[in-house]
Amino acid sequence: MRLLNPQKLNELQRNPNRVRNICILAHVDHGKTTLADSLVATNGIISPKMAGKLRYMDSRKDEQERGITMKSSSIALLHNKGGEEYLVNLIDSPGHVDFASEVSTAVRLCDGAVVVVDVVEGVCPQTQAALKQAWLENIRPVLVLNKMDRLILEMKLSPLDAYVHLTQILEQVNAVMGELFTSEVLGRTVPEKSQSQIDPDKASSLLYDWSAGLEDADDSHLYFSPDQGNVIFASAVDGWGFGIEHFAKLYADKLGVNEKVLQKTLWGDFYLHGKTKRVMKGAQEKAKKPLFVQFALENLWAVYDTVVIRKEKDKLQKIADSLNIKLTVRDMRHTDGKVQLQALCGQWLPLAKTLLDMVCTKLPAPCEITEEKAEKLMCSATERFDSLPSDTQKLKSVFMACSSDEDAPVIVFISKMFPMERRCLPQYRSHPLTAAEIAERREKTRLQHAQRLAQSETPFSVEGCGDYVNPGTHLLSSGDQMKIEEQKEQEQNDADAFIAFARVFSGTIKKGQELYVLGPKHEPQSALEKLESGEVINPDLTLKDLKSGQHITRVKIDQLYLLMGRELETLDSVPAGNVFGIGGLEEHVLKSATLSSTVACPAFTELAQVVVPIVRVAVEPTHAQDMAALVRGLRLLNQADACVQVIVQETGEHVLVTAGEVHLQRCLDDLRERYAKVAINASEPIVPFRETVVVPPTVDMVNEAIQDQNTASKDGDKENAGEVITLSTSNKHSTIKIRAAPLPTEVTSLLEVHADLLKAVDKHIHSEAGQQNSEMFEDSLSESQMVLTERTLKAIETLKEKLKDAFSSAGDEWKCAESQIWSVGPRRCGPNILLNRIPAYDHPSVWQRLRGSDRRLEYDSSFVNGFQLATLAGPLCEEPMMGVCFIVEDWTLAEETQLDHPSSRETTSSSQPYGPFSGQIMSAVKEGCRKAFQARPQRLMAAMYSCNIQVNAEALGKMYAVLGRRHGRVLHGDMQEGSSTFTVTAVLPVVESFEFAPEIRKQTSGLASPQLVFSHWEVIDIDPFWTPHTEEEYLHYGEKADSGNRARRYMDAVRRRKGLAVQEKLVEFAEKQRTLSKNK
C-alpha cells in the first residue's frame, strides 16, 4: 500500500469504529471492477488515468481476456474524511451467474454492500440475486446508479427524460427491497389456526389480519433515496460521481437557501419559483423543471455537449475557470474529448471521494453488528438459539462487542480458500540482499564447490570388482547439479499455496498462536462433553486423519497477510473487525471453517448458495500414468473453488459438478494448467434428468382423440395388467400391493421448496429415536420444542396446512393424504411420496415417531428403504424420480412362527436361502415401485434454464431462431423505454444450452447477451417409448418416427453413458452388403 505504513495500519485496525468492510455487488458488466479501479487509484496503487482500463482486481488471465470477474478479491484502502482516517476493506465480487458462490463468500465477511446498477439496463436478474444475498446476510446496502454517460451519448435523452428514467430505475430497485422485506415479515408472522370449526360464532373475531405485521414493521431504513444520502449517480468509466449533498452545498449559498432544506428538496417533485426564489412543491403539476434537472442534470449535459459532442476547447477553459479547476496544458491540447472530460469531471465531481464518504457515513462499522445477525451466524434457522450450551450463548455478547482485548476469545471465520503462486508470497518475494546475506551465500557456495571437488578426486571401486572406476563417467558435473537444484527450486516456487480468506469477529489473532479449527459439522455440546471427560485433541491431526464424528483439529498460525488485490503484505497480528488472509491451513480447511480459541464456539452457519451446481463432466488423464496427478489436481481444485464439487462415482469415474458452462471451462483450464498440470480428456457435459408419471393423455401426437386407453405394463405381465402391482418376497412370506400415481403439481412444488425443512424434521425424529425406546415415543412436534425453533415449528405446521389444501383441491382421491404420508424420497427429503392406505395398519405419518405394537413396524425401515432406492433410480434411465406418489394398498406378513427375526443370530445360510427377510422386503418394495411406475404413462423431466437476454431490435428475429432450434420457449419480452433494446425472458433445456451463448452472439453479431440461471424441472411431453400407430401419425412422422422423439434420444444417451442396455439397430438395411471398412 502506497499511502499506509505499518504503524498507521495497526492503529486503524485496532479501532473498529474506523474500519469499514464492504463488497461491490452487481449484475455482470454493470461496472463493478471499473468502479473498484477508481477507488484503488485514490491510494496511489494505480494511475488515475488507468482506472477502468487496467481492471486491477482481475488478476487472472482469463478474467482479463473475457472481461468479466470470476473470483472475489479484497484490497485495503485508506480514506480521509473530514480529517478522520478510515480503513476500507473493499471486496470486488463477480456478477456472472456461474460465480454467484464467490459473492456468497464475500458477503459473509462484510458489514455493508455497494450495489451497482446500470441505468440503461436497469435491474437485471443478478441485481436481484445480489440484493437478496445482502438481505439474507443482514448487511446494509448503498446504491450507485452507474453509466450515466450512456443516457447522454447513447440514448440521447434530454435532462428531464433522464430524470424520469432515473426515478423508474430507483423504483425498480426499491420494489425488490420491498418484496424482500414483505416476504420476511409475513414469514415471521405465521397465521394461527382458525377456530371456526370449533365455534362458528367466534369465527369472525378470530380471522387473521395479514397486514398487521407489515404495518407494525419499521421500513424507514429500507429504501434507497438520494435525499437520504444512500444513492450516488456516477459514470465509473469517466471517473465522476455525485450525491445530492454536492449540489445542495454548491447552490445553498447562491440561492440563500438552507443547505439541509435544499438537500431534502433537490430530489423529488420540487421546483424553484422564479420570482420569489423559493422552493415550491408540485413541479410536475405546474409543468416546471424539478430542482434535480435544473441544478444537476442540465449542468452535466452542458459539459458533455461542450467537451465530448461539440469539442469546443475555448468553452472548456471557461467551464474550468468557473468551477475553479486547473487543467494541464497536455489535457487542453488532447484531441480525445473523453480524456478532457475525465480531467475536468475527475476534479469537479470526484467519484472515489464521493463514494468512500458515503461508505464511511452510511455503512456500519464492525462493532455495530446487530443481535439478529450474531444469532444468524451462530445458529441455523431450524434450531433455537437458547438450545445451544450456556458457554456458547455467552459468546453472543463477544460477537457484538467486537473486542480485540487479550482476554477476549478469538473467533475467526474462513469463507473460502484461494490459491496463490508461492513465489508471490511476501516471504518468497525477491528483495535487495544485505552485506551479511551476500557473505553467507558466498560461504555456502564455496563449501559446496569444495565438496564437489573432493568427491571428483576420490577414486572408488565397484562392489565385487577390484578395478577403479573413473568417477567422471558416473558423477554429474557441478553445473548439472546446480541446474537440477535450480529446477527443483523453480518447481517449488511455481507450486500453489492456499490462503484462507477470513475475518476476525472477536479477539486478536497472532502469529504462533494455537487455535482450534472447527469444521462445518462441529457441535459445541458434544465437544464440551468430550473435553470434560478428559479427551485431548491431538495437535498432529489433519483433515485427512479425521474419523467419523470428529470435526476439530488444532493448528499453529504460521502466516498472516494483508490482502492487497494482486499482492499480499505480511502482518504480525490482526485485531477484531478486519478482513485478512491466513497461510498454512491447506491441511486443516477444505472450503470454509471457523477458527477459535474455545471449542464452545459454534461452527458458523452455511453460506447461502443462490446457484445450484448442475453441469457435470467426467474427466480422465490423456495418459494413464498421469492418474495420480489428476487425483491430486482434483483435490486442489475442490479446495480452491467454493462452488465446484468433485465426485467419484461407483464406476470409478471422476466427475466435476459445476454451476454453468463458463464455470466448467474455467475449472477445466485450471485443472490442466495449474493444479494437475497434465493433459486431460473431458466427456460431453452430463446433464441430470428426472423421471415421472403423468395422467393418461387424451390426444395422440397429432392431436387426435385417443379412443382406447391401455395402461398395461410394457412387460406384458397379465397378473399386473392393471395399475395395482402385486408382488411377493422371494420366500413368499410377505405380499405387497402398490400402485403409482402422479402427484398434484402444487404438492410437488411444496415438497421441493421445503426440502430443508423436511430434512430437519427427519433428522430430529431420528436423533430422538436413538435415545428412546420405540414404545415410549410420542408425537414428534410436541417434544421437538427443546431443539427446533418456534419459527421452525410454525413452518412445519404451515407446510402441513398447505399440503392439506393442495391435496383437497386436487380431488377426493387425495382426501386426508397429508396424514397418510409414510415417507418422502429420495434421501427422505425429495419430491416423491409413499402413501399408507393399508387396511388395519395404523402407521404414524412422516411427522411422527414410530409407536405401536403392530408386527409390521419391525420391518418398517426396510419398507421405507426400498421406496428410497426406487425413487433414487427410476426404470427409464436410472435417474431420480420426481412428482410420483406410490400408494400402498396392502401389506401382509406370514405367521410369526414362519418369519426370520433380525434379532435371532443363530440362523445359518442354509435356513435362509433368500437372504435376510428385511432385505427381501426391501427388494420387493423396490421392484414393486418400479413396476407400478412402468404401469403408468412414463415421462422424462428436463432441467430448465431461465434465460434473460438483452437484445437489440435488429437481431430479435435471429435470436428467436436460435431459441427455436434448441427447443427454447419465449415467456415474455419488453422493450426498454427510450431505447431499441428488448429484454426477453425465455426457458431453455439445460441439455440444449451448451455453446448457446457463443452461437447467439455469432448469429446476432454480438447484439444479444444471454444470462442462464437454473429455474425448474419441466416434463418433456413425449412418451420415450412412443411409436406411430395411427394412419395420421404414420403420415406425419413416417414409419421410423426417429425425428420427433427427443425424449427417446435423451433417454438413450443417458443409458448409453451409464452402460445400460439400449434398444437400437446397428444395421438398418441388411440387404446391402457392407464391408468392415465402412460404418455399420
Strands (E), 910-1005: 938-952, 969-975, 981-989
| Mean pLDDT, range 403-422, rounded to an integer | 90
| Contact present, 30 and 93 (Cβ < 8 Å) | no
H or E segment and range at residue 400: helix 390-401
Which cell is 697 given? 393423455
Q: What pLDDT is stored for residue 1076 in this prediction?
A: 60
Give the DSSP letter string of 603-636. Answer: PPPPPPP-SPP-EEEEEEESSGGGHHHHHHHHHH
Question: Using one digit for the tens of pLDDT, what is the confidence trace for 762-809?
Answer: 877 766 555 544 333 344 443 333 356 677 788 888 888 889 899 888
Looking at every residue in the chain, the average pLDDT score rounds to 82
428 closest CA partner among 578, 572, 583? 583
| Mean pLDDT, range 978-1004, rounded to an integer | 88
pTM of the entire predicted model: 0.82
Q: Which residues, 6+ apart, have CB-to-CB distance to 466 below 8 Å?
A: none
pLDDT: is 861 or 218 the higher one?
861
Question: Using one digit for the tens of pLDDT, what is the confidence trace for 542-587?
Answer: 888 888 778 899 999 999 999 988 889 899 999 999 999 999 898 8
Which cell is 126 given? 443478478
What is the rounded CA–CA span in Å between residue 172 and residue 983? 15
The yes-or-no verdict on residue 198 having pLDDT over 50 is no
641 closest CA partner among 459, 785, 501, 766? 501
For 231-234, the CB contacts below 8 A with 24+ separation are: 231/142, 231/143, 231/144, 231/145, 231/170, 232/142, 232/143, 232/144, 232/145, 232/354, 232/355, 232/358, 233/145, 233/148, 233/166, 233/296, 234/35, 234/144, 234/145, 234/146, 234/148, 234/351, 234/354, 234/355
How far, in Å, are 197, 386, 856, 910 from residue 766 at the CA level?
34, 21, 19, 35
| Contact present, 800 and 794 (Cβ < 8 Å) | no
833 closest CA partner among 711, 738, 717? 738
Helices 996-1003 + 956-965 axis angle, to 10: 150
Which residue(s) pair with 637 in the sheet? Answer: none
H helices of 67-117, where?
100-108
Beta pairing, strands 552-556 & 514-518: antiparallel
Q: What pLDDT is stored for residue 356 in this prediction?
A: 94
Which cell is 734 given? 410377505
Helices 32-41 + 351-362 axis angle, to 10: 100
pLDDT bracket for residue 72 (50, 70, 90): very high
Spacing of C-alpha 689 from chain mean position: 21
pLDDT: is 227 or 476 the higher one?
227
pLDDT: is 465 or 253 the higher one?
253
Spacing of C-alpha 520 from chain mean position: 17
The yes-or-no verdict on residue 26 having pLDDT over 50 is yes
Residue 849 main-chain phi, psi, to 5 deg: -85, 160
Q: What pLDDT is stored for residue 782 in this prediction?
A: 39
Which cell is 182 given? 414483505
Q: What pLDDT is stored for residue 207 in this prediction?
A: 46
| Contact present, 232 and 242 (Cβ < 8 Å) | yes
* Residue the block writes with cell 457515513: 361
Q: What pLDDT is stored for residue 852 in this prediction?
A: 64
| Mean pLDDT, range 1061-1076, rounded to an integer | 68
Which cell is 1022 given? 413425449
Spacing of C-alpha 636 from chain mean position: 20
What is the rounded CA–CA span in Å between residue 887 and residue 420? 56
What is the helix, strand, coil percentage profile of the chain, to 5?
A: 40, 20, 40
Per cent of the chain over pLDDT 70 is: 84
pLDDT bracket for residue 666 (50, 70, 90): very high
What is the rounded CA–CA span in Å between residue 945 and residue 1013? 5
Beta pairing, strands 468-469 & 460-461: antiparallel
The yes-or-no verdict on residue 219 having pLDDT over 60 is yes
CA angle 435, 441, 442 (to 5 degrees): 90
Question: Using one digit for the tens of pLDDT, what is the confidence trace for 921-971?
Answer: 999 999 999 999 999 999 999 999 999 888 888 888 899 999 999 999 999
Beta pairing, strands 981-989 & 938-952: antiparallel
What is the rounded CA–CA span in Å between residue 178 and residue 223? 8
Q: What pLDDT is stored for residue 909 in this prediction?
A: 45
The yes-or-no verdict on residue 827 having pLDDT over 90 is no
Q: What pLDDT is stored for residue 163 in this prediction?
A: 94
Q: What pLDDT is stored for residue 484 in this prediction?
A: 61
The yes-or-no verdict on residue 491 having pLDDT over 80 is no
H or E segment and range at residue 21: strand 19-26
Question: How many residues can be counted in the chain?
Answer: 1080
H or E segment and range at residue 486: helix 478-494
Q: What pLDDT is stored for residue 529 in this prediction?
A: 84
| Contact present, 757 and 765 (Cβ < 8 Å) | no
Q: Which residues, 6+ apart, have CB-to-CB distance to 398 below 8 Å?
A: 408, 409, 411, 506
